[in-house]
Chains A and B, each alone.
Chain A
């Protein structure tokens, strides 16, 4: 990762290299931003993320076709007019369906990551700060949840939730991913809280009479947040992939919702007749997942002093 970054930096004009040497010292965040700015992977990933979010927020910017207006007379017809990817088995506009599919993916990913973030933050902070029996108990809970591979548990749980709920199933997929996917974030948070807890400024705050909650919120949290945010960014990418997988397996989102996973599953059955309906959502899904993973990777490289 870092090698790709430095390789690109060598190509770029070397003027930025000398700039910070004599100036005032930078904070870790400013230092990371300085590194990040010169990393082309960061810019590519950011551009892709912006594009996907835009697609989710305003699909009308990209296509005027209605993704649900299907006509079997156009079944497997090739690209024509605004339908850059042709038509699928049902005669739906593949490009329109792919663009509209971004909304469910981004929505599920963001909401599930928020849920994961809240659970992971609470677990990591409590276990890391208080330690002792609380840490032992919480760590065992993390072990138990980690003992079940995420996809297996998600399949079992979402099948259960789907039986009880109506509609597109977005809420149940969010709950499934949020409740099962927080373990890595919690572990990362715990270890950075552990590291921050023994710093001098925490001891100073404690001597000045600050209570545990104030120390956690004002002193430890801001200093332990960076690795946590990085993990959450990567988790967002894997959640989008998991949502698509669940929908692919028919235990995720359901018909009124347009999901890349569902479209990939149906197109896969008719791949001998037409390949484009399979390739288009696959491409968009891959780029979206990749964008978040690359973004997280780039930020981690920038924040990790060991790699410099």
Chain B
């Protein structure tokens, strides 16, 4: 177990270094004139240019710039945006909203996905099974840029069940519709995955043994079938976090939620390199760490896995 954790951690360090380097290179390599971009149309005086060049290490070679950036990142200093606001501060403001949104989306996805998948897997070939399967197929194909505005139109504008936009201090109620939209694709994949593994597990030997021992069907399904069926679902949660964070950019934009996604989008549109790289780096870390945690949770869920 310890060896496995160490190996995974080393792997993660390599991936992290590569991923941040890739993002950094994409954003800053062969940049035309970042100082002029900062100033817009106005001319830049030589003194200002000198100060900025020194502050952002613009006269150093690219690899050295990356080194400086990594040093700051690892010591928790995310730098400042091009107009002087500390990025850490913006992140601290934005994170709680995005975390709330993502957790709520994940909650809905697991709740509906696992419940529907369990029922469908136990009753394969039933009307419920075939209809939910067809529905998930449609949901998987629905791009979030279609789902978000259409859901806003139907449930916000036409029916008025939910607020159309969440506003500056989003309430939990205001986040329900965005979370459902954000979690829709995950719900569908989770349902399919749960259904497939439940259908496989009901025929497994350990389930037959449990039935033969005379356990109630509630206990057989709840403990023996569901527990083993949840393993692939847990993996999916790790993979889905990446999709959720990317989807949050669109969802937060449409529903006007002041989270990481909308701040990131703002940074991209104002060509604020430090902001984008800082945010993306943190998102990549979150993604990698959650995947690591998922790998470790495996062992707890499945007694067959001995690391």
Would A261 and B145 be within 8 Å (CB), given that A271-B152, A275-B153 are in contact?
Answer: yes
Restricting to A147-170, which residues have a CB under 8 Å from any CB of B?
147-153, 155-157, 159-160, 163
CB nearest neighbor in B for A275? B153
Could you say which of B11, B18, B152, B243 contacts A149, with CB atoms under 8 Å apart?
A: B243
Residues of A near B268 (CB, < 8 A) are: 155-156, 159, 249, 251
Residues of A near B129 (CB, < 8 A) are: 3
B303 at the interface (CB under 8 A from A): no
Residues of A near B163 (CB, < 8 A) are: none
Would A286 and B146 be within 8 Å (CB), given that A7-B130, A148-B284, A278-B153 are in contact?
Answer: yes
Binary flags per residue of A120-163, CB closer than 8 Å to B gives 1, else 0: 00000000000000000000110111011111110111011001
Interface residues on B, range: 35 or more
A163 to B213, CA, bound (A): 68
B74 at the interface (CB under 8 A from A): no
DSSP majority for the B interface? helix
Binary flags per residue of B242-284, CB closer than 8 Å to A gives 1, else 0: 1101110110011000000000110011010000100010011
Residues of A near B124 (CB, < 8 A) are: 3
Residues of B near A250 (CB, < 8 A) are: 269
Binary flags per residue of A1-12, CB closer than 8 Å to B gives 1, else 0: 101100100000
A228 to B129, CA, bound (A): 29
Restricting to B87-140, which residues have a CB under 8 Å from any CB of A?
124-125, 129-130, 133-134, 137-138, 140
Residues of A near B287 (CB, < 8 A) are: 147-149
Could you say which of A147, A156, A282 contacts B16, with CB atoms under 8 Å apart?
A: A147
Are B143 and A244 touching (Cβ within 8 A)? yes
Could you say which of B11, B141, B250, B284 contacts A289, with CB atoms under 8 Å apart?
A: B141
Q: How many residues of chain A are within 8 Å of chain B by beta carbon? A: 48
Binary flags per residue of A234-273, CB closer than 8 Å to B gives 1, else 0: 0001000100110011110000000001001101100110
Residues of B near A278 (CB, < 8 A) are: 149-150, 153
Restricting to A274-299, which residues have a CB under 8 Å from any CB of B?
275, 278-279, 282, 285-286, 289-290, 293-294, 297
Could you say which of B133, B247, B250, B288 contacts A248, with CB atoms under 8 Å apart?
A: B250
Are A241 and B280 touching (Cβ within 8 A)? no
Would A271 and B153 be within 8 Å (CB), given that A143-B15, A152-B246, A153-B23 are in contact?
Answer: yes
Are A3 and B280 touching (Cβ within 8 A)? no
A152 to B22, CA, bound (A): 12
Are B249 and A4 touching (Cβ within 8 A)? no
B157 at the interface (CB under 8 A from A): yes
A156 to B264, CA, bound (A): 10
Residues of A near B153 (CB, < 8 A) are: 271, 275, 278
B14 at the interface (CB under 8 A from A): yes
CB nearest neighbor in B for A282? B146
- How distant is B111 from chain A, measured CB to nearest CB, in Å? 24
A47 to B153, CA, bound (A): 30
Are A286 and B22 touching (Cβ within 8 A)? no
Are A148 and B143 touching (Cβ within 8 A)? no
A147 to B125, CA, bound (A): 38
A95 to B153, CA, bound (A): 20
Could you say which of B130, B142, B283 contacts A3, with CB atoms under 8 Å apart?
A: B130
Are A7 and B149 touching (Cβ within 8 A)? no
A151 to B243, CA, bound (A): 8
- How distant is B20 from chain A, measured CB to nearest CB, in Å? 9
Are A156 and B276 touching (Cβ within 8 A)? yes
Are B26 and A244 touching (Cβ within 8 A)? no
Residues of B near A237 (CB, < 8 A) are: 141
Could you say which of A4, A140, A245, A297 contacts B145, with CB atoms under 8 Å apart?
A: A245
Q: State the B residues within 8 Å of A (CB).
A: 11, 14-16, 18-19, 22-23, 26-27, 32, 124-125, 129-130, 133-134, 137-138, 140-146, 149-150, 152-153, 157, 242-243, 245-247, 249-250, 253-254, 264-265, 268-269, 271, 276, 280, 283-284, 287-288
Q: State the A residues within 8 Å of B (CB).
A: 1, 3-4, 7, 140-141, 143-145, 147-153, 155-157, 159-160, 163, 237, 241, 244-245, 248-251, 261, 264-265, 267-268, 271-272, 275, 278-279, 282, 285-286, 289-290, 293-294, 297
List the 3 closest pairs (A to B, CB-CB), nearest first: A144-B18, A290-B141, A151-B246
